[in-house]
């Protein structure tokens, strides 16, 4: 067996393949994902390589920091202590977590549905099934990532507390670089009734990373809200991993209680998990005196949970979320989107690192566990505590079907089709879904479906998936009308 060394990477080539047929090159600094990872404050990008095999022999690649052989045809491992590996092939990403049941020969998954074995500290392994026989070239991209500084204790709580500080965020301009935390007492209101539009973000995000995509369409919607007479736009940044939505809601209500206004008419726009935070504030905690909620618009909200939040599916969730994030950067945001992706990638990395080093369980990541269908939190939230008739809940939903998207590139369509058809749809029993949350969950509140006029469907032809509700024209039109 021959060995190719590329920095700290060790690539072992089997006897039936010549090293001359394996090309290893560095990925350029202009790559959007490499830029995002390189710029992340807490992460160091130690590898960014493309590995190409010029013969259709490769069927499985194992990327590992453990050096534990599982008889792959080509084996790649990192010599760095504590490295985590992220691998891309054909637009689909996989993180190195604990080894799960490999896909069988008849079902080739681009993002594998992993079943966790008994955790083995410090032994992450990743298997990716490459192109089928008859394809002349196999290429994968590999990113090696490590923490810049070691963290004592729970890596998820440690990294999240460094990145996310619960606060209200002032949004006086659609440029997200101007968005800053603000003390509630410093928000200025005129006499009488004032309107506040509140943005509540989803998992792995902050206000800036969840709503700060520099897309012209979304910025136009924001500019319209910011310029509306008597309207103040605020965000609520909160921790989505180490705290559950009810904890977030208590923080939100406490902050709203400190606003100095005669009366506030509150309209809320939530993305994904943010729906659970807003609903908890309204239904479980109760709004402060003088704050009157009028409308809650929910984008892809997991109101009855998502199976991807179950611990057995965390690896799939991490891979899937990374794949969709990279798609958003490529299709919608370009290099500028990398800035918004830095903290998202860091928080995803935190969960991956925690799984590898600390065998995370649901108690250590309550923000994820709360979204598991049937969780104690969802039981409390959906126990019939719907708000009074003065509050309107609206949900924006979509069923992602890549075959129906006319303007999607062939390569991207194939990648997302594999994810939808081989991973997400089987997991969700072929129910309509946006690749993360099923449509039924989005519209099921307190045990009953929302009224038909309050369910707004983004057509599948738009190419909208869970991370792009604020980036496609059809979805933005609905959002703009609901916030008008």
Can you tell me the mean pLDDT for 394-407?
87
- Confidence band, pLDDT 50/70/90 cuts, at residue 13: confident
pLDDT of residue 285: 94
**pLDDT surpasses 50 at 118:** no
Q: What pLDDT band is residue 351 in, cutting at 50, 70 and 90? A: very high
Sheet holding 2-6, edge to edge: 2-6, 9-13, 74-78, 60-64, 125-129
Instruction: Please give the span between the terminal C-alpha atoms of the chain, in angstroms, as a whole number.
Output: 66
Beta bridge partners of 264: 194, 291
pLDDT at 302: 98
CA distance 170 to 180: 6
Under a CB-based contact definition with an 8 Å cutoff, are residues 343 and 161 in contact?
A: no
For residues 421-444, give the mean pLDDT: 92
DSSP for residue 312: G
**Does the pLDDT of residue 116 top 60, yes or no?**
no
Q: Determine the pLDDT at residue 95.
A: 85
Give me the pLDDT at residue 134, please.
41
* pLDDT at residue 410 in the model: 63
pLDDT exceeds 70 at position 63: no
- The pLDDT of residue 68 is above 70: no
The predicted pLDDT at position 324 comes to: 87
In this prediction, residue 422 has a pLDDT band, given cuts at 50, 70 and 90, of confident
At residue 123, the pLDDT reads 46
pLDDT-derived band at 128, boundaries 50, 70, 90:
very low
* Interval 381-392 mean pLDDT: 81
* Count of other CB atoms within 10 angstroms of residue 29: 9
Name the residue with higher pLDDT: 438 or 408: 438
CA distances for 11 relative to 77, 92, 282, 403, 422, angstroms: 7, 21, 55, 37, 29
Residue 376 pLDDT level (bands cut at 50, 70, 90): very high
- Kindly tell me if the per-residue pLDDT of 167 is higher than 60: yes
pLDDT score recorded for residue 114: 32
* pLDDT of 353 higher than 50: yes
Nearest-angstrom CA–CA distance, 147 and 349: 9
The answer to whether residue 129 scores a pLDDT higher than 70 is no
Read off the pLDDT band of 334 (50, 70, 90). Answer: low
CA atoms within 13 A of residue 321's CA, in its CB half-sphere: 24
Evaluate if residue 209 carries a pLDDT over 50: yes
Q: What is the mean pLDDT of residues 266-283?
A: 97
| Helix, strand or coil, per DSSP, at residue 47 | strand
Is the pLDDT confidence value at 124 over 60?
A: no
**Could you please report the per-residue DSSP string of 166-191?**
-EEEE--SS-GGG-EEE-GGG----S
| Separation between Cα atoms, residue 318 and residue 313, nearest integer Å | 9
Supply the pLDDT for residue 339.
Answer: 65
Residue 418's pLDDT is what? 79
- C-beta of residue 100 within 8 angstroms of C-beta of residue 115: yes
Q: What is the pTM of this model?
A: 0.89
Contact indicator for 53, 162 with CB cutoff of 8 Å: no
Mean pLDDT to the nearest integer, 115-134 = 41
User: For residues 123-161, b (16+ Cβ closer than 10 Å) or e, as one string?
Assistant: bbbbbbbbbeeeeeebebbbbbbbbeeebeebbbbbbbe
For the segment 258-268, the average pLDDT, to the nearest whole number, is 95
Q: Is a pLDDT exceeding 70 seen at residue 135?
A: no
pLDDT at 255 over 90: yes
| Average pLDDT taken over every residue of the chain | 84
Three-class SS state of 90: coil
Alpha-carbon distance of 304 to 279, in angstroms, equals 12
Pick the closest to residue 252 from 237, 269, 270 (CA basis).
237
Most confidently predicted of 27-31, 415-419, 451-455: 451-455
Q: Above 60 in pLDDT, residue 71?
A: no
Of the two residues 209 and 328, the one the predictor is more confident about is 209
Find the mean pLDDT for residues 231-258: 97
Identify the residue with better confidence: 365 or 15: 365
- 119 has a pLDDT exceeding 50: no
Q: What is the pLDDT of residues 136-155, one digit of tens each?
A: 447 888 899 999 988 877 89
Highest mean pLDDT among 12-21, 173-182, 335-344: 173-182
Predicted pLDDT at 139: 81
């Amino acid at each position: 067996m021959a060995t190719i060394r590329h920095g700290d990477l060790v690539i072992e080539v089997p006897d039936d393949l010549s090293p001359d047929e394996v090309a290893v090159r560095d990925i350029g600094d202009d790559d959007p994902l490499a830029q995002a990872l390189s710029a992340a404050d807490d992460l160091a990008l130690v590898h960014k390589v493309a590995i190409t095999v010029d013969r259709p022999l490769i069927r499985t690649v194992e990327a590992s920091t453990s050096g534990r052989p599982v008889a792959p045809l080509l084996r790649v491992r990192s010599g760095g202590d504590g490295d985590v590996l992220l691998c891309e092939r054909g637009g689909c990403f996989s993180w190195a977590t604990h080894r799960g049941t490999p896909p069988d020969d008849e079902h080739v998954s681009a993002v594998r549905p992993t079943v966790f074995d008994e955790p083995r500290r410090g032994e992450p392994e990743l298997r990716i099934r490459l192109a089928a026989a008859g394809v002349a070239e196999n290429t994968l991209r590999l990113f090696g990532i490590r923490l810049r500084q070691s963290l004592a204790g729970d890596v998820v709580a440690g990294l999240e507390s460094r990145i996310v500080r619960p606060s209200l965020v002032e949004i006086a301009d659609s440029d997200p670089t101007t968005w800053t935390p603000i003390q509630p007492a410093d928000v200025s209101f005129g006499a009488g009734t004032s309107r506040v539009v509140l943005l509540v973000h989803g998992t792995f995000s902050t206000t800036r990373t969840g709503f700060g995509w520099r897309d012209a369409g979304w910025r136009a919607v924001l500019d319209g809200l910011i310029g509306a007479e008597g309207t103040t736009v605020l965000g609520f940044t909160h921790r989505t991993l180490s705290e559950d939505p009810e904890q977030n809601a208590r923080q939100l209500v406490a902050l709203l209680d400190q606003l100095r206004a005669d009366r506030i008419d509150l309209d809320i726009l939530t993305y994904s998990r943010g729906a659970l935070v807003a609903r908890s504030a309204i239904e479980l905690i109760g709004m402060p005196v003088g704050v009157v909620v009028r409308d809650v618009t929910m984008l892809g909200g997991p109101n009855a949970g998502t199976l991807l939040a179950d611990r057995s599916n965390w690896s799939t969730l991490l891979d899937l979320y990374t794949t969709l994030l990279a798609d958003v950067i490529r299709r919608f945001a370009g290099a500028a989107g990398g800035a918004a992706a830095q903290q998202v990638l860091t928080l995803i990395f935190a969960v991956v690192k925690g799984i590898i080093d600390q065998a995370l369980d649901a108690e250590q990541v309550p923000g994820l566990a709360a979204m598991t269908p049937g969780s104690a939190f969802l039981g409390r939230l959906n126990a019939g505590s719907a708000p009074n008739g003065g509050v309107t809940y609206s949900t924006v939903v979509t069923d992602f079907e890549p075959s129906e998207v006319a303007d999607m590139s062939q390569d991207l369509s194939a990648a997302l089709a594999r994810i939808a058809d081989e991973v997400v749809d089987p997991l969700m029993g072929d129910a309509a879904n946006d690749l993360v949350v099923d449509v039924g969950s989005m519209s099921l509140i307190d045990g009953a479906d929302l009224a038909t006029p309050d369910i707004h469907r983004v057509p599948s032809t738009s190419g909208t998936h869970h991370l792009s509700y604020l980036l496609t024209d059809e979805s933005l039109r609905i959002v703009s009308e609901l916030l008008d």
